[in-house]
Chain A
Amino acid sequence: MAIKIQNIRFGYEGSALLKDCSFNIGKGKIYSLLGGNGCGKTTLIKIIGGVLKAESGNIIIDDREIGKIKTKELARKIAYVPQEHISSFPYSVLEIVVMGRNPYLGMFSRPSVKDYNIAKEALNLVGICSLKDRNYMNLSGGEKQLVFIARAIAQEAKYILLDEPTANLDFKNQYKVLNIISKIVSERKIGVLISLHDPNLALTFSDYGIMIKDGSVLANGNMDDILTNQNLRLLYDAEVNVSYLDKGRKFISIVQEKEEYMMIV
């Protein structure tokens, strides 16, 4: 039981953004997607979530091709948390979260009390039950992110895809959000693919990593193994320093260019 991503190719306006991406996502683990700005992380996540369609290649979800799974059924398997969300209407937080129950509802039906309870449980799990009657548009970036994570939980999917959930968050909230995600993964045994900018966060929270460079997979494997000097240098086109903290934990930083350093001093 896994998502198999096979030879995905995708391009905007003729030029290929993703050339040949293949890797697997299993259950009960967190997978980090690393790569520079504009390398196609968001696009890849949207393709896996069925929002975009790949030009060629295949996504196999639990032994079935993504194209042969109906939209509603796919939503029961995969939940997608967008990077940011612009809403035009002032729904309450609970209303937003209960929308995650849609894959289980018919065309003419509405969420039942049971669905509302599942939504509230999801809010509880994420720890934002107190926000449930607030106007979602007035929330801060971090709170909004948590609302969408709660919605993904209410969706009861086997896999959750998160597109840079820490992008707009402050230092503490980045850890808070990622801690909540690890808690859900260990409690519900779901598979999570998460795109991140900070390799240190990826190392702290995820089990496996996938590095995307120039449209293909640069490295793929155990987080600790792939975070090498060489891989990181290729990935970010920069001199990277891997140092070791106490207990042998890696810490990754960018080596400042000398002239620039002098100027700062």
Chain B
Amino acid sequence: MKKIVAEKANEDGKNLVGTTKILISLLIFCIIFILSLMVGRYRLTPVQILYLIKEIPKYIWGHNAVTPPELIFYRVRLPRAILASTVGAVLSITGVLFQGIFKNPLASPSILGVTSGCCFGAALGILLPTQYPYIVQILAFVFGIISVLLTYSMAKIGKNQGVIMLVLAGMVISSFFSAALSFLKYVADPYEQLPAIVFWMMGGFHRSNWTNVSILLISVIPCVILLISMSWQVNIISLGDEDAKSLGINVKKIRFILLIIASFMVASCVSVSGTISWVALVIPHITRLIIGSNHRYTLPLSFIIGGSFTLVIDNIARTLTTSEIPISILTAAVGAPVFGYLLLMKKENLW
């Protein structure tokens, strides 16, 4: 018994290491967040930033922004920084979840067809003659959800109820929506609509405004809390269906709940920002290198790292040249080499 008591301290120590890493990354995120409010065409000084941050409550209670620094801070930079970090964070945490559930380090949230569905919906919204301002986002979201439900029902009809069937059904639905998207591109007006579709798909946070941001936060925050609180179930499901079942988990039910929540989150993000490649794939790997595979720590840490990464990339996207670079180009250009470096440098058998 003495031995066990001695080791208990060790176990608590390990928890402490994980928590410390999360707190440190949270601190880094805050620094990045404040810095990204400063950089841009119109440079804001740290003094101005501190003053403006202090004035946020006043602004929330209806005070109108008048001076240029105020306008830039409240109308442009703050919503954009919140949007970029939220989208990146959500994509990363869902990436971790999908990789865990599918027992595959190459899985990403797009595996069930949500991204293709969103792209199709957005393209449809661009082609429709209506002038309703949010039609593109609404259609993107709706078709993202429709595609996931189609994938799920198709897998359910199939005899084999395992994960493989789900992946294959996802491929079928993705391909279908890609074909439909290609058709829309083909019939689109090549001077106005086609570029709009292409730019939408390359992603960007230039559509950020307070309406977008608040809708996104309201829909995403409860989901994130739910996912993190279910991290233990994710751990067990990542062992495989049979193991999870023999450990008392209703695999089909829990997997359905988790994947639907995650797809809902991804659809909400993609419908605002367009597709953002690589974040959902690379950040989970970076996170696992830092903190290991226990989803209790991997989920929250990937959330923070994903937010910081996307925020940095977005800062580069909007400051590197006079016009804005679509963010997917940069996430891939930065993400791929970073990932390659990590793969070559890893010492232990990590996945």
CB < 8 Å neighbour of B349 from A46, A79, A121, A138: A138
- The answer, yes or no, to whether B248 is at the interface (CB within 8 Å) is yes
Query: Contact mask A55-81 → B, CB, 8 Å, 1/0?
Result: 000000000000000011111101110
Most buried by B among A71, A78, A95, A103: A71
Q: A50-B245, A110-B296, A129-B3 are in contact. Are A95 and B103 (CB under 8 A)?
A: no
- The answer, yes or no, to whether A49 is at the interface (CB within 8 Å) is yes
Among B1-50, those with CB < 8 Å from A are 3-4, 7-8, 11-12
Chain B residue nearest in CB terms to A46: B242
Query: Contact mask B88-110 → A, CB, 8 Å, 1/0?
Result: 00000000000010011100000
Say whether B245 contacts A95, CB under 8 Å.
no
Q: Name the distance in Å between B183's Cβ and chain A's nearest Cβ.
A: 37
**Stretch in contact with the other chain, from B71-79, B229-237, B316-324:** B229-237
Q: A88-B351, A120-B4 are in contact. Are A103 and B248 (CB under 8 A)?
A: yes
- The answer, yes or no, to whether B238 is at the interface (CB within 8 Å) is yes
CA distance A89 to B238 in the complex (A): 8
**Stretch in contact with the other chain, from A18-26, A111-119, A202-210, A227-235:** A111-119
- The answer, yes or no, to whether B350 is at the interface (CB within 8 Å) is yes
Residues of B within 8 A of A135 (CB): 348-349
Query: Contact mask B116-146 → A, CB, 8 Å, 1/0?
Result: 0000000000000000000000000000000
Number of interface residues, chain A, beta carbon within 8 A: 47
Instruction: Indicate the size class of the contact surface on chain B.
Output: 35 or more
- The answer, yes or no, to whether B239 is at the interface (CB within 8 Å) is yes
- The answer, yes or no, to whether B249 is at the interface (CB within 8 Å) is yes
Say whether A71 contacts B249, CB under 8 Å.
yes
CA distance A86 to B240 in the complex (A): 9
Say whether B232 contacts A155, CB under 8 Å.
no
Say whether B349 contacts A137, CB under 8 Å.
yes
- The answer, yes or no, to whether A124 is at the interface (CB within 8 Å) is yes
CA distance A120 to B58 in the complex (A): 55
- The answer, yes or no, to whether B243 is at the interface (CB within 8 Å) is yes
CB < 8 Å neighbour of A110 from B100, B232, B250, B292: B232
Residues of B within 8 A of A80 (CB): 242, 246
CA distance A161 to B123 in the complex (A): 54
Q: A113-B11, A120-B7 are in contact. Are A89 and B248 (CB under 8 A)?
A: no
Q: A89-B351, A116-B11 are in contact. Are A71 and B248 (CB under 8 A)?
A: yes
CA distance A72 to B281 in the complex (A): 33
CB < 8 Å neighbour of A117 from B8, B105, B242, B350: B8
CA distance A186 to B247 in the complex (A): 24
Q: A107-B230, A108-B229 are in contact. Are A90 and B246 (CB under 8 A)?
A: no
Q: A50-B245, A80-B246, A116-B11 are in contact. Are A87 and B4 (CB under 8 A)?
A: no
Query: Contact mask A207-233 → B, CB, 8 Å, 1/0?
Result: 000000000000000000000000000
Residues of A within 8 A of B254 (CB): 107
Chain B residue nearest in CB terms to A108: B229
Query: Contact mask B250-272 → A, CB, 8 Å, 1/0?
Result: 10001000000000000000000
Say whether B245 contacts A90, CB under 8 Å.
no
20 interchain pairs, CB-CB under 8 A = A50-B245, A71-B245, A72-B248, A72-B249, A82-B242, A82-B243, A87-B239, A88-B104, A88-B105, A89-B288, A90-B292, A91-B235, A102-B236, A102-B248, A105-B232, A117-B8, A124-B4, A129-B3, A135-B348, A138-B349
A-B complex: 6 closest residue pairs judged by Cβ atoms: A75-B248, A103-B248, A80-B246, A72-B248, A89-B293, A88-B103
